[in-house]
Structure 1
Amino acid sequence: MRAHLVVGGGEHAATVTDRVAASIPLRPAVRSHRAAAEGSDPVLEAIAHYLDRLLAALDLPAPVVADLVGRLLPAELATLLRLARSLDQAEVDDHGIVATVDIEVARLLDLPQRVARAFAAFVPVVARWEVLVAPEGVGNLPAPEPPVLTALREGADLLERLDAALADPEVTAVHLAPPDGPVGAARRADAEVLLALMGRTLTAVHPGGGSGVEHLPASPTEDLPSLERRGEEWLLHIGLPGVRAADLDLVRHDDELVLGCAGRTRRVLLPSVLRRCDIGRAGVAAGVLTLTMTPDERVWPRG
């Protein structure tokens, strides 16, 4: 276990962090991730600087600019990037981290994947700016400088690794220290749904008052997602602990599956061998989604 993250925003989060740190025999480094105390990040600075220039050239209304900036560069991004770098450094140094993460739990679990995909989508556009944008003569848009492309690639890579770490119970333990009352209940529900769509569960819930810690069932030990060949069909198994078939929305979008539950979504990239296959059947049993897929005869002709 590389990291123990205390989330949920309860007033007792700092106490929980100290308690978790004291319970771990390997004396991990205890760090706090707070944007106000640690400044910006080079990835964020490079992208924000160019985005400011680009949006100024487009001369868009202020509310539109604010919405675009908020979607691509959310307020929590500097903290997420620092957390990603801390996890990478912990792996290099072979030490652990116990930290209070001051990000609303649903945002912590959802944003890394979303922003990583947005950054990755911009990489080919920026890399071929003169081919894809300049010939069209779209106003006087400023060409991105080389650091922008580097920042997009680095940011996408950092956030993808952070997302993978959050989804892996062998890498991160997620301790929920929620406030009392309906707000805390809502945050727990959000965390459970989003983690289930990642294929895992909360590690523990720490209620206010310092007692009655609830240790939750661990995620399935089976290595999921997994792929199985059965005759001419492929079976894809995806872990969704605690999710029932009636609660799951499933949509295929190109080479991805979009999994939805209780208003939350997560995208799962199909293995390359299945990207030219059709979904025949889908079912959920014991917290595992199983998709039965067959080769698309338009791209896998017989005979």
Structure 2
Amino acid sequence: MRAHLVVGGGEHAATVTDRIAAATALRPLVRSRGSDGHDPVLEAIEHHLDRLLAALDLPSPVVADLVARLLPGELPGLLHLARSLEQAAADGHELLTEVDIEVSRLLDLPQRVARAFAAFVPVVARWEVLVAPEGVGALPSPEPPVLAALREGADLLDRLDSALADPGQTAIHLAAPDGPVGSVRRADAEVLLALMGRTLTAVHPVEGPGVEHLPVPPSTDLPPVERRGREWLLHIELPGVRAADLDLVRHEDELVLGCAGRTRRLLLPSVLRRCEVERAGVAGGVLTLTMTPDERVWPRG
């Protein structure tokens, strides 16, 4: 399945969508409509969050931060896009849709919100042990649909994030406005996609016929993980990113990659989670980490 997403919020997005439909040989083709704002995941979480925050009587800045992290304004559109991608795949259709979400938010939020939902799952599942033991206070207990909604939402957004990072699943066409706003959105898209290991599929100016495809660098033949003696090498594609522009932090079993103020988290392969990073380098758009077993936790024998 392949989906064509027209992003960027430009006034000519509809024209770009029509061009793509005319220029591609997608059969059968489905053009998705926008979200109506209603989603069972969102409604279940919103209902419980309102009850919980009212009972906790938290300061307004804390409430605002919680709501922004769990329920950003773009969440209905993200859930709708995730469901549309999966429905098109199930039906064997190609999907073409305009995504009315700022490109930086589209590429960044699915992973962040999925992580926030997943973090709440064990809290809600063990609510009476971790938060409100029996006989302590009068906090409302989560209703059964809330746990299912958190799990479903996390899974949906995780799969959406994977689809956005996979050029085999989604083609991302930037139809940004002219001028400085469009330039900023293109820069944001290129950085975030680079941290996902891919480039923009196409950029569409207002003028000019057809579809302007950007060159895509050839994929490296390097395996993601290599073993050389006692060392392990982890290769991560970061097209266009230079070593001087990259921030790299190891946090438990994850790598946090940063560039131009944008970040992305990558889960280490299981075989490397008991290893320490010895050195790192970027060459030809590929980050290579050299890792060695941590003798404190690596099994001997």
Cα shift at 1:301 = 6.1
Cα shift at 1:141 = 1.8
Alignment-derived partner of residue 197 in structure 2: 199
SS at match of 1:57: helix
Cα shift at 1:86 = 0.7
- Cα deviation code 1:13-36 (max 9, x no counterpart): 011011111222224111233x4x
Cα shift at 1:223 = 7.3
Q: CA RMSD in A?
A: 1.8
- Cα deviation code 1:30-50 (max 9, x no counterpart): 1233x4xx1310000000100
SS at match of 2:138: coil
Q: For residues 229 and 253 of structure 1, what CA distance do their matches in structure 2 show?
A: 22
SS at match of 1:214: coil
Q: 1:119 to 1:219 in 2, by over 3 A?
A: farther
Q: How does the TM-score come out when normalised to structure 1?
A: 0.94
Alignment-derived partner of residue 33 in structure 2: 32
Match of 1:277, as an amino acid?
C
The within-5 A match list for 1:137-286 is 139-211=137-209, 213-218=211-216, 220-222=218-220, 226-286=224-284
SS at match of 2:140: coil
Match of 1:155, as an amino acid?
G
Contact residue 2 and residue 96 of structure 1 kept, 8 A? yes
Q: Is 2:79 the partner of 1:78?
A: no
SS at match of 2:184: helix
Alignment-derived partner of residue 294 in structure 2: 296
Q: For residues 9 and 138 of structure 1, what CA distance do their matches in structure 2 show?
A: 50
SS at match of 1:32: coil
Q: For residues 150 and 30 of structure 1, what CA distance do their matches in structure 2 show?
A: 30
Contact residue 20 and residue 211 of structure 2 kept, 8 A? no
Alignment-derived partner of residue 59 in structure 1: 57
Q: Which moved more, 1:67-76 or 1:149-158?
A: 67-76
Alignment-derived partner of residue 116 in structure 1: 114
Q: How does the TM-score come out when normalised to structure 2?
A: 0.95
- Cα deviation code 1:110-145 (max 9, x no counterpart): 000000011011111111111111239764221111
Q: 1:225 to 1:145 in 2, by over 3 A?
A: farther
Contact residue 69 and residue 116 of structure 2 kept, 8 A? no
Q: For residues 215 and 12 of structure 2, what CA distance do their matches in structure 1 show?
A: 23
Match of 2:32, as an amino acid?
R
Q: For residues 69 and 219 of structure 1, what CA distance do their matches in structure 2 show?
A: 40
Cα shift at 1:192 = 0.1
Cα shift at 1:224 = 7.8
Q: For residues 10 and 112 of structure 1, what CA distance do their matches in structure 2 show?
A: 22
Aligned length: 300
Percent sequence identity over matched residues? 80
Q: Which runs of 5+ in 1 are unaligned?
A: none
Q: 1:121 to 1:12 in 2, by over 3 A?
A: same
Q: For residues 183 and 234 of structure 1, what CA distance do their matches in structure 2 show?
A: 43
